[in-house]
């Protein structure tokens, strides 16, 4: 290669005394650049490998020369020694056989003269050598020594006569001439080595040494890299024998070292479970070049662990030469996945199955029941009665503790094959497989008895009651969602019938539920369309039959159903929460109509308007503000408004009720306790309530004329009210006898169909002017 040079080389001296030649940048070829790149790897001026490589090459060449020179000499001498020793052995053997014929039967004696023996020896032994003949006592019989120069080879042979050892013969052969010839061969070899010295030094020994060093370094690097992998790695040949593994593999398998493992099969080094995991196959059979993934559980150091395993074939020149695999311990990840699955399918508070798992279990139970004969299964929907009182009085932590205790008791009453689910809030669901209706009722009986056992929450001991809705399955054409829905419908029926009951679902219940749901939607539409309106029933004095006020009652004029009575929609509105809209409507319209009467009729100035508050309205925040706005919007004096609240609503939380009523009373409105006698009022609680009126429930008015006991109950209620300075109002007066008896007992006011039926607003002025009165005999 021709290089064009511009400029002259400039010698410089490096630190340390070494002189280097700096080339002009315009006088460089590929070889020069390669050399410069090589030298640039050592920028600190440290000694490079060139001098050490040259010394190593010289030593290797010298060793090769010695080997080439000495190998022929040693080979020749070895061959000569073997050849001479073999010839001597053969000669002595023949001579020993020949001498045996000359020996007499007498030990230690010979029957031939030495000269005759000597002639016999000369025929079999070459000249220049020597021999000695010994008798049986080791005495020399004949000895001939030729001129032996230098080293010699000696051999001996036993002489036998008539089957017995009679003596021995020893032979000696000189190897002096062989040594001389070996030196000649050695000299010739040195001359050849000298002539070949140049070619030997030209061999790529340095490159081979560097390559060997690089191979060893790369092997150490690969080994370190392999051992630093955080997972198991192995390489096997086509016969499933190990070629290489890393330290993590040895640690997990429990094998002492790689050296004792290489070349062995799976069955020789591992537990049978590990052997099946490490075999040269995937879970679905033969492997291919694409990694096959699998997951296996096994034991490691007494602990159950899960491994994610990948295996694939290793090919070289289109030929499969083995398999490679690696495995990673994914136990923490699997445990996290299992925890997530558990949380997704179980209630975090009680640990019971949640709604999703419940639906899945119902689906499975339904499929099994449809494909087998015998008992089906039952779905029980359970709801704790009056659980809200626990949360409101003791706090939500106490409520959570109570729910956990209920979950524990339900699980104890069920079998292992059954499913106990917390559906939400204080609702629980049970799926009982393979049970007849009678067995289902026995299970419910055990649950009720278990819940009736005292539960200690903090310092409070309580006994629980619940309502139950039951449906027996499978039902043709019903999906799992249908089954659960129907059980819930039966549960609501149990609550409507008085709680703490068990109701089994019937098809008619579903139809009723659909009608109620339809009615709920129609109520909202009806309120927006103006289908609801108010009617008013007079409240009159039993003493002179004069009108003292009105009670506002709501009615619904449905476009298809006609006039819908309150008994059909009030309870539904209370349950659905629509009662707040209806209650606001009733309060606003009653105040508006009363204000209109007072503006247009001076005769109505002493009258009052009574408006009913539902239990949910009474317990809702903002009631006081709602009443204040209704009065202010219509410029109505608070004294003209009387609020009627049922006894059960007040007595559920008497202390809280007293505070609410006190705020209402402070606004100036009147307070009446409605349906008195149907609840469980305590005298002390009743005394603390800021009441104005006490309304006697119509059930007592009806029974008053039928028995003396009924009359005495009414007398006691009137006496109690007067002792608390409360007016009494008797509801549902329909006969003159009832009116007369109430007057005799001292009742103050009354209302009922005897006086008048409910009237619309347009009819009130006429009724006030006429002074509508009940007819008295």
Q: What is the pLDDT of residue 29?
A: 41
The pair of three-digit structure tokens given for residue 73, joined into one six-digit string: 């000499």
Q: Write the secondary structure of 182-246 as one string of H (helix), E (strand) and C (coil).
A: HHHHHHHHHHHHHHHHHHHHCCCHHHHHHHHHHHHHHHHHHHHHHHCCCCEEEEEECCCCEEEEC
Range with the lowest mean pLDDT among 173-177, 535-539, 606-610?
Answer: 173-177
pLDDT for 450-464, tens place per residue?
999 998 887 888 889
Residue of 747 and 256 predicted with greater confidence: 747
Q: What is the pLDDT of residue 444?
A: 93
Highest mean pLDDT: which of 47-56, 514-523, 540-549?
540-549
**From CA 49, how far away is CA 36, in angstroms rounded?**
15
- Reference 586, options 627, 621, 554, 626; nearest CA is 554
- Reference 729, options 745, 753, 751; nearest CA is 751
pLDDT for 120-131, tens place per residue?
666 555 544 677
Q: For residue 358, name the pLDDT band (cuts at 50, 70, 90).
A: very high
- Name the percent of the chain lying above pLDDT 90: 28
Q: What is the pLDDT of residue 116?
A: 61
Q: What is the pLDDT of residue 260?
A: 77
Beta-bridged to residue 323, according to DSSP, are 236, 313
pTM of the model: 0.49
pLDDT for 149-201, tens place per residue?
667 788 888 888 777 787 888 888 877 777 777 788 777 777 777 776 666 55
- Reference 686, options 654, 649, 716, 662; nearest CA is 654
**From CA 743, how far away is CA 741, in angstroms rounded?**
5
CB 535 within 8 A of CB 760: yes
Mean pLDDT in residue range 478-495: 89
Residue of 727 and 342 predicted with greater confidence: 727
Contacts of 480 (CB under 8 A, 6+ apart): 359, 362, 363, 366
Q: What is the pLDDT of residue 404?
A: 93
Q: What is the pLDDT of residue 197?
A: 63
Mean pLDDT estimate for the chain: 80
Q: Is the per-residue pLDDT at 8 higher than 70?
A: no
In the DSSP assignment, the letter for residue 129 is -
pLDDT for 398-451, tens place per residue?
889 999 999 999 999 999 999 999 998 999 999 999 888 999 999 999 999 999
């Amino acid at each position: 290669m021709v290089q064009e040079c511009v400029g002259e080389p400039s010698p410089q001296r490096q630190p340390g005394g070494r002189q280097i030649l700096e080339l002009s940048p315009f006088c460089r070829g590929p070889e020069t650049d390669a050399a410069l790149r090589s030298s640039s790897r050592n920028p600190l001026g440290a000694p490079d490998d060139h001098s050490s490589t040259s010394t190593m090459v010289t030593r290797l060449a010298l060793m090769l020369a010695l080997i080439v020179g000495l190998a022929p000499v040693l080979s020749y001498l070895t061959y000569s020694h073997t050849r001479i020793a073999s010839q001597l052995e053969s000669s002595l053997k023949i001579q020993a056989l020949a001498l045996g014929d000359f020996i007499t039967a007498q030990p230690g004696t010979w029957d031939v003269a030495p000269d005759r023996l000597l002639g016999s020896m000369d025929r079999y032994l070459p000249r220049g050598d020597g021999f000695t003949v010994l008798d049986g006592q080791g005495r020399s019989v004949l000895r001939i020594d030729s001129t032996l120069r230098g080293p010699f080879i000696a051999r001996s042979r036993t002489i036998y006569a008539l089957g017995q050892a009679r003596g021995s013969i020893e032979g000696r052969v000189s190897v002096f001439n062989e040594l001389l010839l070996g030196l000649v061969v050695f000299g010739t070899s040195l001359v050849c080595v000298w002539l070949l010295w140049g070619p030997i030094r030209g061999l790529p020994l340095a490159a081979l040494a560097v390559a060997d060093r690089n191979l060893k370094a790369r092997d150490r690097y690969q080994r370190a890299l392999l051992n630093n992998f955080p997972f198991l790695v192995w390489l096997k040949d086509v016969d499933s024998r190990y070629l290489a593994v890393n330290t993590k593999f040895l640690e997990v398998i429990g094998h002492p070292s790689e050296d004792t493992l290489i070349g062995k099969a799976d069955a020789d080094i591992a537990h049978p479970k590990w052997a099946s995991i490490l075999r040269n196959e995937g879970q679905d059979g033969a492997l291919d070049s694409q990694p096959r993934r699998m997951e296996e559980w096994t034991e490691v150091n007494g602990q159950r662990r899960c491994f994610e395993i990948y295996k694939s074939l290793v090919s070289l020149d289109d030929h499969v030469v083995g398999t490679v695999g690696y495995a990673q311990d994914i136990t923490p990840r699997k445990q996290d996945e299992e925890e997530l699955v558990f949380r997704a399918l179980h209630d975090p508070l009680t640990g019971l199955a949640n709604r999703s798992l419940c639906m899945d279990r119902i689906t499975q139970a339904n499929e099994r029941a449809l494909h087998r004969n015998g008992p089906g299964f039952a779905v029980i929907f359970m709801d704790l009665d009056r659980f809200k009182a626990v949360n409101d009085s003791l706090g939500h932590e106490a409520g959570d503790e109570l729910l956990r205790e209920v979950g524990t008791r339900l699980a104890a009453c069920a079998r292992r094959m059954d499913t106990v689910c917390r559906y939400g809030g204080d609702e629980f669901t049970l799926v009982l497989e393979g049970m007849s209706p009678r067995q289902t009722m026995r299970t419910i009986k055990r649950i009720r008895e278990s819940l009736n056992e005292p539960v200690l929450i903090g310092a409070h001991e309580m006994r629980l009651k619940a309502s139950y809705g039951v449906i027996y399955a499978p039902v043709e054409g019903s999906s799992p969602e249908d089954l659960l829905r129907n059980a819930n419908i039966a549960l609501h029926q149990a609550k409507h019938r008085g709680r703490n009951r068990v109701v089994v679902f019937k098809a008619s219940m579903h139809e009723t539920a659909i009608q109620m749901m339809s009615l709920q939607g129609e109520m909202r539409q009806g309120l927006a369309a103006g289908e609801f309106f108010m009617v008013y029933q007079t409240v009159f004095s039993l003493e002179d039959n004069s009108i003292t006020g009105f009670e506002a009652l709501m009615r619904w004029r449905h476009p298809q159903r006609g006039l819908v009575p309150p008994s059909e929609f009030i309870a539904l509105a209370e349950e659905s929460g629509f009662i707040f809209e209806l209650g606001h409507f009733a309060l606003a319209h009653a105040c508006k109509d009363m204000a209109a009467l007072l503006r247009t009729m001076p005769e109505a100035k002493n009258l009052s308007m009574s408006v009913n508050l539902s239990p949910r309205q009474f317990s809702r925040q903002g009631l006081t503000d709602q009443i204040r706005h209704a009065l202010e919007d219509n410029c109505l004096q608070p004294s003209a408004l009387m609020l009627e609240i049922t006894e059960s609503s007040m007595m559920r939380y008497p202390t809280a009720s007293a505070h609410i009523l006190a705020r209402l009373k402070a606004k100036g409105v009147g307070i009446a306790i409605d349906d008195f006698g149907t609840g469980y009022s305590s005298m002390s609680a009743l005394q603390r309530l800021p009441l104005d009126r006490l309304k006697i429930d119509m059930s007592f008015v009806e029974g008053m004329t039928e028995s003396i006991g009924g009359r005495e109950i009414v007398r006691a209620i009137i006496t109690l009210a007067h002792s608390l300075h409360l007016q009494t109002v008797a509801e549902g007066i329909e006969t003159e006898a009832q009116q007369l008896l109430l007057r005799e007992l001292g009742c103050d006011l009354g209302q009922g169909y005897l006086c008048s039926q409910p009237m619309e607003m347009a009819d009130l002025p006429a009724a006030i002017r006429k002074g509508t009165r009940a007819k008295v005999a």
